[in-house]
Each structure stands twice: as C-alpha cells, then as structure tokens.
Structure 1
Amino acid sequence: MDFFENFWSIFWWLFCVYAIFAFLYALFMVITDLFRDHKLSGWWKAVWIVFLAFVPFLSLLVYMVARGKGMTERSMAHARRDQEAADAYIRQVAAASPSDEIAKAKALLDAGTISAAEFEQIKGKAVV
C-alpha cells in the first residue's frame, strides 16, 4: 500500500514531524536558558546538560516545571535589553540634533558646497 493513499499515515507522519520540531525547539530553548542564567553555577549547568543528553524528554519536562518561571523572566529581560539597544541605536542614527545639523551646514558653507541662502534655509528648518 502506498504511503500517500492512507490519510491516517499522512496525519501520523505530520504529527511526528511536528513533535520532533517541537522537541528540538524546546531543547534549544532550555540550553539557551541554561547559559543565559548567570546565577546557576557551572556544575549545575553541566549536570543539566548531561541529563539532557541521556534522558532528554524527561529532563526537558523537569527543567520546564522546575525553572519555567525563571526561564520566562530571563527571556523577557533579554528581549527588553535587545529592544532598548535597538531603540537607542535608532535614536542615535535617525535623529540628529539641531545643533548638529547647523554645524554640518556650516561646514558645507565654509567648504563652498552650499550658498549662504541655502545655509539660512537649513538653519531655519533645524531650528523649527
């Protein structure tokens, strides 16, 4: 019998693929959390890694039950730090202060790149 002729065999195959990806995602999230947690000693991290290597499914469940709340807090703190860093970078790059714009325009005026009228126009836009 062909594999694709039976609906339930396709359904079972898709379920198994989904379960494997879910397991791998959870495994990588736990390993990431282990190394993100600075309060946990190196020995405890090694113990968790050994258990994850030899008893992976049970270790994942125990880790998520025992340390799930802390895992969420660390993940949210990391996301918050990343967002703050991105916001600071965007503010730094996107918005030049009026004095910076005037200084750049003055440098262009001194170099002869723009005329005095253009300098006044840029200065007027920067001040407003």
Structure 2
Amino acid sequence: MDDYPLLNLFWTMLWLFLWVLWFFLLFKVITDIFRDQEMNGWGKAGWLILVILLPYLGVLVYVIVRGRSMGQRDMKQAQANEKAFQEYVQKAAGTPRHSPAEELAKLSSLKEKGALTQEEYDKAKDKLLA
C-alpha cells in the first residue's frame, strides 16, 4: 500500500468509473441504432461502422446528432412497456376494462336500484368522465 498513494487510487477509481460509463453509453447507442424503426438499413450500417471504428468520436457524434430522438424513443418504449404491463395485470386479475358508456350504464342502474345516492352518482360520473 505504501507504493500506491491515495490520490493515485482516486484517479484510478475515476478512470474506471468513466470507462464503465462509456461502455454503458456505447451499448445504449448500439441498442438505439437497432431499435429505431425510422432509420433504413444503410443508415444503421453507417452509424454502426462509425461507432465501432471510431468508438469515442462515433458515440459522441451520435449523441449530439440523435440524442433528442434517442430520448423520445426511450420514452415511447417505456410507455409501451407500461401499457403492456397494465393490460397483463388487468387480464391476470380478471378485471376487464370497460368503455365509459358501459361504466355510465352500470352507475345509472345502481342509482336506479337505490345503491347510490345522487351525490355519489355525480361524483362517480365526474370521475369517470374526467
């Protein structure tokens, strides 16, 4: 331990962290290249060649040029995953999603039977229509 000063240890840790961070970004860029449905095959091949042959410069240029759309594709993918998860949970729980018209009909029949007061009916209807 005496031959490796503490400051050198911090520098080594910093460079290791930056190296891992760069690998994460490289894999993120490659994943985004393949995920983009709007880019044609030649565009994907060109970006991959740039990223593989000149990795640091290629990743930097890709993030500068396509960074905003990269974030939008991430958001779209996250929303699709969330929607699929919600549908799976509803299907697994056995609670099918009904249309607002069906829900209003149910509320109306409950009110007619006396199970709901006018105030409860109005609150439920406002919540449903919101």
Whether TM exceeds 0.5 here: the answer is yes
Q: Which residue of 2 aligns with 1:42?
A: 41
Number of residues paired by the alignment? 95
Q: Deviations over 1:3-43 (max 9, x none)?
A: 2xx11111011011101111001001101110110111111
Unaligned runs of at least 5 residues, structure 2:
97-130
Larger Rg: 1
1:2 to 2:22 alignment: no
1:51 counterpart residue number: 50
5+ residue gaps, structure 1, are: 98-128
Equivalents in 1 of 2:49, 2:73: separation in Å?
22
Task: Name the CA distance, whole Å, in 1 between partners of 2:81 and 2:95.
Answer: 22
Q: Which residue of 2 aligns with 1:30?
A: 29
For 1:36 and 1:83, how far apart are their aligned partners in 2? 18
Q: Percent identity?
A: 33
Paired with 1:74 and 1:58, the residues of 2 have a C-alpha distance of 22
What pairs up with 1:1-128 in 2 under 5 angstroms?
Answer: 1-3=2-4, 6-96=5-95
How far the C-alpha of 1:85 sits from its partner, in A, is 0.2
CA RMSD of aligned residues (A): 1.3
Looking at structure 2, the residues matched to 51 and 91 of structure 1 have their Cα atoms a distance apart, in angstroms, of: 44
Q: Normalised by the size of structure 2, how large is the TM-score?
A: 0.69
SS of 1:38 mapped into structure 2: coil
